[in-house]
Amino acid sequence: MIRVAKNAGFCFGVRRATDTLEELIAKKTENDIICTLGKLIHNEQYSEYLKQNGVLEISGDDIDSYFEKSLSGKSVTVVIRTHGIVKELQEKLDGYAKKSPNFTVVDTTCPYVKKIHKIAEENSGEDEIFVVIGQREHPEVESIVSYVKNKCEVFPNEEELEKYLNSENSTKNTINMAAQTTQKLTMWEKCQKILKNYCTNAKIFDTICSVTEKRQEEAASLAKDSDVVFVIGGRDSSNTSKLAQVCGAFCEKTFWIQTKDNIQLDKISGAKNISITAGASTPDSLIMEVKETMSEIMMEENFAELFAKECENGAKVKIYTGATVTGTVMSISENEIRLDLGTKVTGVITRDQITDSNDEKLSDLFKIGDAVDASVVSVSDRDGIAILSKKKIDGVKNWQKIVDYQASGETVNAKITEATKGGVVANIDGVRVFIPASMTGIAKDGDMSVLVGTTQEVKVVEIKDDKKKAIASIKAILREKKKAEKEAFWASLEEGMVFEGTVKSLTSYGAFVDLGAVDGLVHITELSWKRLKHPSEVVNVGDKLTVFVKALDKENGKISLGHKTDDQNPWNIFKSQYAEGDVAEVKIVGITTFGAFAQIVPGVDGLIHISQIADKKIDSVANVLKVGDVLAAKIVGIDEENHKVSLSSRALLENEEAEEAAEEVAEAAEEAVAEEAVAEEAAE
């Protein structure tokens, strides 16, 4: 008997999200860009369906570039996933939607999650601690935490909650507690009991989705009366994980699968009562495929059981075309081996049905007495010969390995054998596997032939069992390695660290710099000591830039970088070269009604007040000076606090007049001395 849970598959929130997105896809034009912030739902098959229909999966870091696309005329629609997003990003999206008529935000956040956002915001005041029971790294929990105004704690289970309440970190402040919507019901009940024992004034909000409760209760009921339970859903689906735990507690043979291809026949043989349930992100089509597959398998097993009983009763077993047989090697020649099949028919396997290699000797591959599995190609009762194929059996076994690789997510080695128009072909355990161009790790329109002949680490990401075709990805491995590098980078990152980065992109508010594993932002005010209208005034994409870490936000994955340093500060340069009373050669850079601004050093200007331009009263600065004039001026005042400098040309003119007067007095004195000397000489 096969039973499918009534509450299996899409919940209300997920169905609403998928219906909304599919309506957008149906209306999509060439000018439209449809994006989802992260995965709309946790289901790889559905994500692939969206990808094939032109829906892009982006992150928060991509929002700015897509906003700019909308300003250039593209129609951009950003769909917010069912789990919701952090408050800061929500506000940013709403702001962009107001600024650009081509930028549309479609919010498909589950109403249950929206409710928790409101609860978190209203119950996290100054004297309150908001506790969330869930997985901190889960998108839903991340979005909830962003709405908390004051202190927030996240615990994955009742043990961690109790540990916190027993620690010194726990305070006498009011503790308010809510749960991730997909949290396991029994765990949530334990957490409530623990909190009530510690805090009499605690507020507890029942935020587990009612559909989740019904789904878990029904799954537990089915599991208690089942030989085998299949839980269908993506590996990163939280509610599917909880379902698997619930069923596993009552049925030892509980299997968490993603598609019908993950069913392992050897582990369910003999099962009479089979139940099927599925997470909230599992499409109905996948559930029906599993049900139909299991129905076929059970019919085959019933036939095999009847057939076995007939054999026990003395019925003659016939070797027929297509049957799988096991024989014992009784002779080996250069071009074939012969098997004893336990009947009057002798099995024969020719070289070409054993191996493709001409160099291998059959005597090296087999020994007399070896058991060999083979498929019957043809039977001649008259000759007493059955022509067999070992290749077919090996092909089935090797294909099963590929299926197992996909189910386990195991990394395997693949020999790249050829490049095609759409990607490359690889050999994994003798099976031909296709790697699409987008999954090779080669840049778009790049030369994929460079991979031919190499061995690459890959993951089998898709199985088309009906066509015996498999798709693998090199990029998935590269992505995992990049993720590991990113995590290691963040672990070692500290404020003040200096990097030689590459400018990756420019925006109106700064430059994003590639530090190797991650990008950081140099705000426009940190690029130069002078005021900039746009970062392109000082840097371009591709430029090498020395930067240092100013601030880190590890929780949100953001790095604030600095570039300008004190030794580049124009004011410090000015102070190192000049002091009050010094004379400097300055260049007029601006004219006003009250004076002229003159550049002393690049980045530092001084004011020559109208009264300090000449040694006489002037009616207009423009009548005496113009932009571009270079002249000498005396530094008569330095305002350290406000970084202002006062200059005077008049002071230098007054000095010249004083010097001329002193020279005249000196000349007159010399003349008087000379006249006196002449007079004395005449008197003698």
Torsion of CA 280, 281, 283, 286, to 10 degrees: -90
Place 307 in a pLDDT band, splitting at 50, 70 and 90: very low
pLDDT of residue 28: 86
Tokens 């000591």 belong to residue: 529
CA gap 39, 57 in Å, rounded: 7
Check whether 445 has a pLDDT greater than 70.
Answer: yes
| Count of alpha carbons within 13 angstroms of residue 26, beta-carbon side | 6
Alpha helices, H only, 325-434: 362-365, 390-408
pLDDT of residue 212: 79
pLDDT of residue 503: 92
Is residue 34 a contact partner of residue 79, using CB atoms and an 8 Å limit? yes
Higher pLDDT, 173 or 479: 479
Structural class in CATH, domain 493-564: mainly beta
pLDDT of residue 185: 82
The amino acid present at 154, given as its one-letter code, is: V
Q: What is the DSSP string of 602-633?
A: TTEEEEEEGGGTSSS--S-GGGT--TT-EEEE
| Residue-averaged pLDDT of the chain | 86
**Residue range 502-510: average pLDDT?**
91
Per CATH, the number for 578-654 is 2.40.50.140
Is residue 76 a contact partner of residue 270, using CB atoms and an 8 Å limit? no
**Residue range 457-461: average pLDDT?**
91
Name which of 215-219, 257-261, 467-471 the model is least confident about: 467-471
**Residue range 329-340: average pLDDT?**
93
Judge whether 324-393 and 493-564 match in fold: yes
Check whether 632 has a pLDDT greater than 50.
Answer: yes
pTM: 0.42
Is residue 239 a contact partner of residue 280, using CB atoms and an 8 Å limit? yes
Check whether 242 has a pLDDT greater than 90.
Answer: no
Tens-place pLDDT, residues 150-206: 899 999 999 999 998 888 666 667 899 999 988 888 889 999 999 988 887 889 998
- Going by C-alpha positions, the residue among 666, 555, 559 that lies closest to residue 136 is 555
pLDDT of residue 368: 94
pLDDT of residue 486: 84
Task: Return the number of other C-beta atoms located less than 10 Å from residue 249's C-beta.
Answer: 13
Place 311 in a pLDDT band, splitting at 50, 70 and 90: very low
Name which of 98-112, 396-410, 536-550, 618-632 the model is least confident about: 396-410
Look up 140 and say whether it is catalytic. yes
Check whether 318 has a pLDDT greater than 80.
Answer: no
CA gap 506, 560 in Å, rounded: 15
Assigned fold of 113-208: Cobalt-precorrin-4 Transmethylase; domain 1 (3.40.1010)
Assigned fold of 324-393: OB fold (Dihydrolipoamide Acetyltransferase, E2P) (2.40.50)
Domain residue limits, the chain: 2-112, 113-208, 324-393, 409-471, 493-564, 578-654
Place 52 in a pLDDT band, splitting at 50, 70 and 90: confident
pLDDT of residue 494: 87
Residue 121: φ, ψ to 5°: -70, -35
Check whether 668 has a pLDDT greater than 60.
Answer: no
Segment (H or E) for 211: helix 210-224
Q: Does domain 409-471 have CATH number 3.30.1050.10?
A: no
Higher pLDDT, 104 or 287: 104
CA gap 444, 475 in Å, rounded: 13
Structural class in CATH, domain 2-112: alpha beta
Among 140, 142, 158, 218, the one annotated catalytic: 140
Largest CA distance in the chain: 173
Tens-place pLDDT, residues 344-355: 889 999 998 998
- Going by C-alpha positions, the residue among 440, 442, 439, 437 that lies closest to residue 422 is 437
